[in-house]
C-alpha cells in the first residue's frame, strides 16, 4: 500500500475500503465491507452483515447518490441506504 501514489480527492483504493464499517444516515449498522465489484458502470460495495442471526451479503453501489461520507482514518462509510433495500 505504501508504494501506491496518493489517491485524489474523493477517490479511494479498494484495499482501503475493505474492512470499513458502513452505517446509514440514521446510524444503523449496514455491515462491513468485505470486497468490491466492478459492474462496468460503477463499483459496488460488498458488505457482510448479520440479519436474524444469519450471515448475509448486502450490495450498495459506490456512487455519490448513495455514499454520503467516507472516512478512511475512522474506517467508516456513511450511506444513504436502508436495511430493507435488499
**C-beta separation of 63 from 44 below 8 A:** no
CATH number assigned to the domain comprising residue 31: 2.30.30.240
| In the predicted structure, residue 81 carries a pLDDT above the cut 90 | yes
Asked, for residue 9, whether it belongs to a domain, the answer is no
Rounded to an integer, the average pLDDT of 68-73 is: 96
3-state secondary structure of 1: coil
Asked, for residue 64, whether it belongs to a domain, the answer is yes
Quote the domain boundaries for residue 19: 14-80
Which of 18-27, 46-55, 67-76 has the lowest average pLDDT?
46-55
Strand-strand pairing, 21-24 and 76-79: parallel
Q: Answer with the residue of higher pLDDT: 84 or 31.
A: 31
C-alpha cell recorded at residue 48: 457482510
**C-beta separation of 60 from 66 below 8 A:** yes
- Quote the pLDDT of residue 7: 87
Asked, for residue 38, whether it belongs to a domain, the answer is yes
C-alpha cell recorded at residue 10: 474523493
- Quote the pLDDT of residue 9: 87
Asked, for residue 62, whether it belongs to a domain, the answer is yes
- Quote the pLDDT of residue 18: 98
pTM of the model: 0.90
* Burial tier of 15 (Cβ tally within 10 Å: 0-12, 13-18, 19+): exposed
Rounded to an integer, the average pLDDT of 47-53 is: 92
Amino acid at each position: 500500500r505504501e508504494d501506491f501514489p496518493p489517491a485524489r480527492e474523493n477517490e479511494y483504493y479498494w484495499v482501503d475500503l475493505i474492512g470499513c464499517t458502513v452505517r446509514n444516515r440514521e446510524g444503523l449498522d449496514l455491515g462491513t465491507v468485505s470486497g468490491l465489484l466492478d459492474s462496468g458502470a460503477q463499483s459496488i460495495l460488498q458488505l457482510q452483515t448479520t440479519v436474524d442471526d444469519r450471515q448475509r451479503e448486502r450490495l450498495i453501489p459506490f456512487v455519490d447518490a448513495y455514499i454520503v461520507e467516507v472516512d478512511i482514518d475512522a474506517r467508516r462509510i456513511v450511506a444513504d441506504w436502508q436495511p430493507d433495500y435488499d
